[in-house]
Structure 1
């Protein structure tokens, strides 16, 4: 269980709908589909309706600050099966990156790898009280594309399993390039939060509206709120 799992969910029943991708930049084919993940009946580029409305609003805020820049959608809806696929893939990749094979792992090494994986990836839980955020249709992974169509450098790629993924990793650096990375992350945060999103404290790219993490983060910043989640797990 994570801290935000204490938040009750009162599912509102809002359906998943397709994101109007013409309003945004998008990676195609989808990055997880390229790895072999299968999504079933819903496109990965689906979200709940109010989340899409907030995303459109965030794009409009970005238009004012940087005309012709676009929010790029990396990932949105993620069924439990895909969550499990990516957890397993990330574990195998982390083992490989350490120059090991799974059969060679000591118990301590295995524990260390799983801790690294779950620092980024939510547990693919089937418990309706503890859904992975993306499986609710309320969470979206995004970055920015500039007016030349180039992905803005945020200082680390999406899904990197390192401390560089932490939103404020570059905040206190005196290096000019690092300050640019932080400014880009802050720009993304600014337009998304202005549109009603909350950002995952451990991932610069992950934002949500209406799920447990969103409610928990709102309540942390304003304890008088007592918000609950209105989006739960979708099958």
Structure 2
């Protein structure tokens, strides 16, 4: 089992907010569903990673910044599902189990604008990466784990390509979700042996109705 976001090796890492701005990925030339905001440093790295891909293949960001309230709702909902699946499970155990798929809000990378959920797309649409984005471990029989064996060779090759360009640009993957990559959060700090995260929770900018 990989190190999870609920692990004390992650939760004890401090977040020292850098004050870096949120930016719209659209303005950085990164393909995204609707308008997605992330920290400036992450946006730069996504643009770099996108440039590393072969001609005709692009990164496609499904979600970046997530509101605290929504993060809590997603966590609570998944935790309730797990409690039904595992009658009698302790609060501590269900907390750990839930963190395979949804980060506890106090350490969540998405609420800091430090993470994206993304895939690869080409001329004919999304590539095969083994599961849909946001397929739970239960729904996918664990195929959502980045190193899952129960996916096709094509999906495995596509995951390897995704990892090659994102890792080269300085992002880290959350190993239970092939689509989740981050920079500047606690998980990044742990993986990169940094003393602290550089991004904490941040609010989405208020958009003009003309935007």
> Scaled by the length of structure 1, what TM-score is found?
0.72
Question: Which residue in the other structure is 1:203 paired with?
Answer: 177
Residue 165 (1) aligns with residue 139 (2) = no
What is the alpha-carbon root mean square deviation over aligned residues? 2.7
Contact 1:144 1:188 (8 Å CA) reproduced: yes
Correspondent of 1:229 among 197, 205, 211:
197
Correspondent of 1:20 among 2, 19, 26:
26
Question: Which residue in the other structure is 2:67 paired with?
Answer: 79
Counterparts of 1:108 and 1:52 in 2: how far apart (Å)? 40
Correspondent of 1:118 among 96, 99, 115:
99
Contact 1:67 1:147 (8 Å CA) reproduced: no
Q: Deviations over 1:190-211 (max 9, x none)?
A: 1101111111122111111111
Structure 2: 5+ residue stretches without partners: 1-5, 204-211
Counterparts of 2:58 and 2:39 in 1: how far apart (Å)? 20
Question: Which residue in the other structure is 2:208 paired with?
Answer: none
Counterparts of 1:183 and 1:152 in 2: how far apart (Å)? 11
Q: 1:135 to 1:146 in 2, by over 3 A?
A: same
What's the CA shift for 1:69?
1.4
Q: Deviations over 1:27-47 (max 9, x none)?
A: 35xxxxxxxxxxxxxx6x101
Counterparts of 1:216 and 1:105 in 2: how far apart (Å)? 30
Question: Which residue in the other structure is 2:37 paired with?
Answer: 46
What's the CA shift for 1:57?
0.5
Question: Which residue in the other structure is 2:160 paired with?
Answer: 186
- Which range moved further: 155-164 or 104-113? 104-113
Contact 1:154 1:185 (8 Å CA) reproduced: yes
What's the CA shift for 1:84?
1.3
Counterparts of 1:217 and 1:188 in 2: how far apart (Å)? 18
Question: Which residue in the other structure is 1:32 paired with?
Answer: none
What's the CA shift for 1:114?
6.0
Question: Which residue in the other structure is 1:142 paired with?
Answer: 118
| SS of corresponding position for 2:105 | coil
What's the CA shift for 1:82?
1.0
What's the CA shift for 1:106?
3.7
Q: Deviations over 1:106-145 (max 9, x none)?
A: 43499887655332001123xxxxx311111111111000
Whose helix proportion is higher, 1 or 2? 1
Contact 1:198 1:209 (8 Å CA) reproduced: yes
